[in-house]
Amino acid sequence: MIKRIVAVAALIPAMLGATSGVASAQSAPKATAAVVTLTYDASQAGQWAAAITQGVQNWNSALHNVHLQPASSPGSADYVYKATSGWPQTTLGPIFPGGRGQVQLGQEAVTEGYDKTRIAAHETGHILGLLDHYSGPCSELMSGHGPGTACTSAKPNATEAAQVDRNYAGRTAAARPAHHQIVIDIWSGPVLTRSH
């Protein structure tokens, strides 16, 4: 009987956290036995290479359950970065090994005055399953263009990292949805999304 009470008592905080809608940095899952490794291809990213490297490093420093690394060959990557002339747009994840995600790093956002590393890290956040939150402060990476061009913060905060860790906790199998949602980040106006 005591074992059952202890088991139920241990479940209550987890159930309350799941239903309250509040993400807590303290509830971040620690590294699981199998960390999910996602590979990327930046061979088509051109002038974005340094921004991608720094953005990926920022995510890897903050996460426990997923690790990002360059693919051994371009065709084997779980997701790709491409330089484009338009607005940034990204496959909304979480993308898993064997997935086919794409990050289009659009020059329009840079032309508007936004920081390349922040853009690259923000778009990587979409690959990891995070949505935009434009009303957030500069310290919130997924606030994107909301804080304006003076914001150059390119590191996920503890809440964002905890959400990504939850997205990947204990999951190693490929997840391939029937369709992908593409998030189009127009860094100077409203948000558009489309599915395909």
Catalytic residues: 123
Cα distances from 33 to residues 26, 129, 147, 160, in angstroms, run 19, 21, 38, 22
How far apart, in whole angstroms, are the C-alpha atoms of residue 3 and residue 7? 6
Angle between the N-to-C axes of helices 158-168 and 49-62, in degrees from 0 to 180, rounded to the nearest 10: 80
Q: Which residue has the tokens 């330089």?
A: 83
